[in-house]
Structure 1
Amino acid sequence: MRTADLLYLIEASQRLHLSDILDKLDDGVIAVDAEGRICFENEAYSRIVGVSERKTIGRNLHVVEPDAILLKVLETGEPIYRNRQLIHSVGKFVAMRIYPIVKNGKIKGAYSIFQDVSEFDKLNQEFHRMAGIAREYGNQLNEKQSLSHLKIVRRSPVYDKVLDKALTIANTDASVLIRGESGVGKEVITRLIHENSHRSGKPLITVNCAAIPDSLIESELFGYEDGAFTGSRKGGKLGKFELAHEGTLFLDEIGDMPYAMQAKLLRALQEGEIERVGGSKSISVDVRIIAATNQNLEEMIKAKQFRQDLYFRLNVVGITVPPLRERKEDIIPLINHFLQKNNEKYKKHISISPEAYHQFEAYEWPGNVRQLQNYVESMVIMTDEDGTVRSVPLALYKSESSQDVCEESLIDDLQNSFLLEEVSFAEAVRRYEQRLIRAAVESCDGNRDLAIKKLGISRRTFYRKLQDE
Structure 2
Amino acid sequence: MAHATNSARFLDADINLKGLFDIIRPENNLVLADDMMLSDAKGVILWVSETYEKNFGFAHNSIVGKSAFDLEADGTFSPCITAEIIRKKEKITTTQTINRIHKNVMTVGIPLFDDHGELKYAVCFNTVSMEQINSIQRNYRHLQDSLQQYTQEIAELRTRATSTSLVFKSASMQRLWTLMQNTANTKANILITGETGVGKSAVAKAIHAMSDRAAGPFIEVNCAVLHENLIESELFGYEKGAFTGASSSGKIGKIELANQGTLFLDEIGELPLHIQSKLLQLIQEKTIERLSGTKKIELNFRLIVATNRNLEEEVQRGLFRSDLFYRLNVIRIHIPPLRLRKEDIFPLAHQFLARFCGEYGKTLNFSPRFLAFLEQYDWPGNVRQLENLIERIVITVQDPIIDVSALPPEYTGDSVTPAAILAQAGSLSERMDAYEGQIIRESYHRWGTTVAVAKELGISQATAARKVARYVHS
**Alignment TM-score, normalising by the size of structure 1:** 0.59
Of the three residues 301, 305, 310, the one matched with 1:296 is 310
C-alpha distance 174-147 of structure 1, shift in aligned 2 (>3 A): same
Match of 2:296 in 1: 282
Match of 1:400 in 2: 418
C-alpha distance 183-378 of structure 1, shift in aligned 2 (>3 A): same
**Counterparts of 2:327 and 2:427, CA distance in 1:** 49
C-alpha distance 405-169 of structure 1, shift in aligned 2 (>3 A): farther
**Counterparts of 1:290 and 1:464, CA distance in 2:** 31
Superposition map of 1:171-320 within 5 A:
171-320=185-334
Q: Which runs of 5+ in 2 are unaligned?
A: 1-159
Deviation, structure 1 residue 452: 3.6
Are 2:393 and 2:407, in contact at CA under 8 Å, matched by a contact in 1?
Answer: no
C-alpha distance 278-410 of structure 1, shift in aligned 2 (>3 A): farther
Of the three residues 344, 362, 372, the one matched with 2:358 is 344
Q: Deviations over 1:244-294 (max 9, x none)?
A: 111110000000001111001101110111011011111111111000000
C-alpha distance 453-262 of structure 1, shift in aligned 2 (>3 A): closer
C-alpha distance 244-322 of structure 1, shift in aligned 2 (>3 A): same
Match of 2:448 in 1: 446
C-alpha distance 222-410 of structure 1, shift in aligned 2 (>3 A): farther
Q: Write the letter of the residue equivalent to 1:211.
A: V
Deviation, structure 1 residue 438: 5.0
Of the three residues 329, 353, 369, the one matched with 2:367 is 353
- Establish whether residue 332 from structure 1 lines up as the match of residue 334 from structure 2: no
Q: Deviations over 1:63-95 (max 9, x none)?
A: xxxxxxxxxxxxxxxxxxxxxxxxxxxxxxxxx
Q: Write the letter of the residue equivalent to 1:444.
A: R
Identify the range of structure 1 (350-359 vs 166-175) with the bigger mean alpha-carbon deviation: 350-359
C-alpha distance 218-147 of structure 1, shift in aligned 2 (>3 A): farther
Of the three residues 379, 389, 401, the one matched with 1:375 is 389
Are 1:213 and 1:460, in contact at CA under 8 Å, matched by a contact in 2?
Answer: no
Superposition map of 1:102-121 within 5 A:
none
Q: Deviations over 1:119-166 (max 9, x none)?
A: xxxxxxxxxxxxxxxxxxxxxxxxxxx986415211111111111111
Match of 2:457 in 1: 455
Are 1:183 and 1:368, in contact at CA under 8 Å, matched by a contact in 2?
Answer: yes
**Alignment TM-score, normalising by the size of structure 2:** 0.59
Identify the range of structure 1 (181-190 vs 150-159) with the bigger mean alpha-carbon deviation: 150-159
Q: Deviations over 1:400-421 (max 9, x none)?
A: 2465499989955999xxxxxx
C-alpha distance 340-460 of structure 1, shift in aligned 2 (>3 A): same
Identity %: 43
* RMSD of aligned Cα (Å): 3.4
C-alpha distance 388-283 of structure 1, shift in aligned 2 (>3 A): closer
**Higher RCO (CA-CA < 8 Å; seq separation 6+):** 1
Q: Write the letter of the residue equivalent to 1:260.
A: H
Q: Write the letter of the residue equivalent to 1:439.
A: R
Q: What SS class does the counterpart of residue 361 from structure 1 fall into?
A: helix
Q: Deviations over 1:410-436 (max 9, x none)?
A: 955999xxxxxxxxxxxxxxxx99x78
Are 1:440 and 1:451, in contact at CA under 8 Å, matched by a contact in 2?
Answer: no
**Counterparts of 2:198 and 2:428, CA distance in 1:** 30
Q: Write the letter of the residue equivalent to 2:441.
A: A
Q: Write the letter of the residue equivalent to 1:254.
A: I
**Counterparts of 1:184 and 1:378, CA distance in 2:** 19
Runs of 4+ deviating beyond 6 Å = 405-410, 447-450, 463-469
Q: Deviations over 1:104-132 (max 9, x none)?
A: xxxxxxxxxxxxxxxxxxxxxxxxxxxxx
**Counterparts of 2:425 and 2:249, CA distance in 1:** 48
Q: Deviations over 1:38-79 (max 9, x none)?
A: xxxxxxxxxxxxxxxxxxxxxxxxxxxxxxxxxxxxxxxxxx
**Counterparts of 1:269 and 1:408, CA distance in 2:** 58
Deviation, structure 1 residue 241: 1.5
Q: Write the letter of the residue equivalent to 1:344.
A: G
Q: Matched residue pairs, number?
A: 307
Q: Deviations over 1:288-318 (max 9, x none)?
A: 1000000011111011000000001111100
**Counterparts of 2:193 and 2:447, CA distance in 1:** 21
C-alpha distance 436-217 of structure 1, shift in aligned 2 (>3 A): farther
Deviation, structure 1 residue 240: 1.0
Q: What SS class does the counterpart of residue 444 from structure 1 fall into?
A: helix
C-alpha distance 169-263 of structure 1, shift in aligned 2 (>3 A): same
Match of 1:43 in 2: none
**Counterparts of 1:209 and 1:334, CA distance in 2:** 27
**Counterparts of 2:297 and 2:166, CA distance in 1:** 37
Deviation, structure 1 residue 352: 1.5
**Counterparts of 1:289 and 1:161, CA distance in 2:** 22
Q: Which has the larger radius of gyration?
A: 2
